[in-house]
Structure 1
Amino acid sequence: MSGSSRLERRYRALLRVLPGWYRAEREEEMVGLFLADRDDELDLEHSWPGWGEAGATAVLALRVRLGARRPAGGLVRLVGMTGLLAQLVMVGQVWAAVARSGVPPQAWWADVPVVVAFAALVAGHRAVGRAAGAVTGVLAVLPWAHAVLSGAPWWFTAVFALPVWVTAAAVVAGFHAEAPRPGPRWWAAAVAGVAAGAVVSLVGAVAVWLSWLTFLWAWVVAAALVAVLRPWRAAPRPAAPDPA
């Protein structure tokens, strides 16, 4: 290191975002690729890693840490799927209330990306699932932003939006191209969750229109179904990568 250039030291500092075991195997190779064709003395002493290189390294670090066989990756994917499942329970609640009252929800279209994200991930279409999951997070920003701009109590909206944002982030980060496909037991969890939400809504045991009780019920049902079915145990091995 004593004879290395400042640019090389900066690249090595950038690579510290990667796990130690990965750096031990690949650091020298990566530094060599970064420095290829950069032999100008001024460049070597005064340049910094580019934004594209920094971004690509950060994405690689996230993907490695959330790999198919890494505990952190399994946990993040479980959070993402459980969050989508809870939102499906709420979909069942809302549409059962619509069937009972005949009054359509104001933003029914917001349910579509939730269904698409869940179905796509379980079907093995990770790129589609990630895109739809990201849309759910973006849509949750809209009512929060409206509350902020209108002077309404934004924290109340944030309580409902935060789990959606966490779910969206977990889906986008966890289901990269090398991630394993969620197990088929998630289909059973989805059917049971939607049915539970619909039944409770139809019998009037839970107020549906964005009440605290409705929100809590959806997450409790999702957590219970995951605890009972343990769908991660039926997850198949990683398939061939599709476009991320």
Structure 2
Amino acid sequence: MSPDTSPLERRYRRLLRLLPATHRTARGEELLGLLLDLDHGRRHPSWHETLNIIALAIRLRLTTPVTTTALTTGLTALLVAAGTQPAGHTLDLFTGAVLATDMSAIIASWPQLVALGLLPLAPLIAWLCGAPRTALTLQAIFLTVTVGWFVIDVLNGADLGINPGQQLFAYAPPALTVVLLAIAARERWTAPRPRLFWWALVPLGILAWKGTGEWGRHGVYVPDAVPTVIGILTAATVAVGAGLAVRRHRPAVLIGVGLAGFIAGWLIPDPLLSNTAMQHFDGQPLPLAVLITVIAATMAGLKHLARRLKPEVRSLPPDGPVMR
């Protein structure tokens, strides 16, 4: 950068680094000139243009193939984990969660219970069928009803001993799902492939929630070291993956980021890990969604690696001699 560069230009160049490199190469100088003309005579970028650059950077980075694949995979995993939870609990209700002496009341109201258990599957089914706007509408309705019931209970004096942190953690997955579905509807995203894998996860997710209900009734003891080990392994794995994604200075990035991830995983408090990694047994869908995302990402990575290692099939020219 030239020493004669104005402070405004230097600050705008730093802001433009938020944009993807390909966009900066193609239109960076043109955009810089336009911004300098709009803010001529100023020393600092205006708030309006700064927010416009940030919004443009977010939108451009959301449309990259890697980001789109990652977000659609996480969104589908959230829908599977949250959508199959009520159905799994309903199945558990009829297969062991209630004593035989109390089953008469459950059997008498089975249509309502089954309907309430299957209705949350609607956004997932709509999303897998390629209807993101329908999935967004249904998910927004369910979130509004759930939050409305909670607000009514609070206004009526119920749940006076609620924990705000737990409530925030409980409503975070459905709220995040609504935000991702809104982006998906705007950007016309579709469910990741292969679709058969995600359709197969619907009954498997229901059985998983049924299984955790059975497991929880017998008392599950989780050693204190387990959350710490999970945190260390997860942070180190993510760090190594980030290092592999960097093209330059790969060994240094692997060592530096790997050590930083390892230390970060070690420093994460046990209560936080216990409330995230182990809350799947208390009805929280987020850990199951993380597990599904990791499995899907691993399958995609192995598929990509197998495609790269697969030898190319070379065919002989039509009239070429055959070597013996």
TM-score by length of 1: 0.59
What's the offset of the Cα at 1:59?
3.4
What's the offset of the Cα at 1:48?
4.4
Alpha carbons 2:18, 2:57 under 8 Å: kept: yes
What residue in structure 2 maps to residue 124 of structure 1?
Answer: 130
How far does the alpha carbon of each residue in 1:39-67 deviate from its partner, in whole angstroms, 9 at most, with x for none? Answer: xxxx511484453x544433332233233
Change (3 A) 1:127 1:228: closer
Distance in 1 between residues matched to 2:14 and 2:162, nearest whole Å: 45
Distance in 2 between residues matched to 1:182 and 1:174, nearest whole Å: 12
1:153 maps onto 2:166 in alignment: no
What residue in structure 2 maps to residue 215 of structure 1?
Answer: 283
Counting matched residue pairs gives 218
What residue in structure 2 maps to residue 189 of structure 1?
Answer: 201
Task: Say which one has the larger Rg.
Answer: 2
What residue in structure 2 maps to residue 15 of structure 1?
Answer: 16
What residue in structure 2 maps to residue 237 of structure 1?
Answer: none
Distance in 2 between residues matched to 1:126 and 1:27, nearest whole Å: 33
Distance in 2 between residues matched to 1:205 and 1:199, nearest whole Å: 6
Change (3 A) 1:82 1:35: same
Unaligned stretches of 5+ in structure 1? 235-244
What residue in structure 2 maps to residue 80 of structure 1?
Answer: 75
Question: What SS class does the counterpart of residue 85 from structure 1 fall into?
Answer: helix
Change (3 A) 1:206 1:158: farther
Alpha carbons 2:88, 2:208 under 8 Å: kept: yes
Distance in 1 between residues matched to 2:128 and 2:84, nearest whole Å: 17
Alpha carbons 1:80, 1:170 under 8 Å: kept: yes
What residue in structure 1 maps to residue 84 of structure 2?
Answer: 89
Alpha carbons 2:139, 2:178 under 8 Å: kept: yes
Q: Which moved more, 1:11-20 or 1:141-150?
A: 141-150
| Identity level (%) | 20
How far does the alpha carbon of each residue in 1:107-141 deviate from its partner, in whole angstroms, 9 at most, with x for none? Answer: x59x85x5454334323334444565566666676
Change (3 A) 1:142 1:31: farther
How far does the alpha carbon of each residue in 1:187-232 deviate from its partner, in whole angstroms, 9 at most, with x for none? Answer: 23224424x268559xx72679xx9625268854883697389786
Distance in 1 between residues matched to 2:137 and 2:191, nearest whole Å: 16
What residue in structure 2 maps to residue 205 of structure 1?
Answer: 214
Distance in 1 between residues matched to 2:80 and 2:189, nearest whole Å: 19
Distance in 2 between residues matched to 1:31 and 1:229, nearest whole Å: 38
Distance in 2 between residues matched to 1:17 and 1:221, nearest whole Å: 29
One-letter amino acid matched to 1:81 = T
Structure 2 matches for 1:1-244, cutoff 5 A? 2=4, 6=8, 11-34=12-35, 38=38, 44-46=40-42, 48-49=45-46, 51=48, 53-70=49-66, 72-96=67-91, 101=106, 102=109, 115-130=121-136, 150=160, 152-172=162-182, 177=187, 179=189, 181-183=191-193, 184-185=195-196, 186-194=198-206, 196=207, 200=211, 205=214, 213-215=281-283, 219-220=287-288, 223=291, 227=295
One-letter amino acid matched to 2:124 = F
One-letter amino acid matched to 1:122 = L
Distance in 2 between residues matched to 1:228 and 1:11, nearest whole Å: 39
What's the offset of the Cα at 1:25?
2.1
Question: What SS class does the counterpart of residue 41 from structure 2 fall into?
Answer: helix
One-letter amino acid matched to 1:205 = E
How far does the alpha carbon of each residue in 1:149-193 deviate from its partner, in whole angstroms, 9 at most, with x for none? Answer: 956222232332334444445545567516454222222322442
Alpha carbons 2:77, 2:289 under 8 Å: kept: no
One-letter amino acid matched to 2:170 = F
TM-score by length of 2: 0.48
Distance in 2 between residues matched to 1:141 and 1:13, nearest whole Å: 41
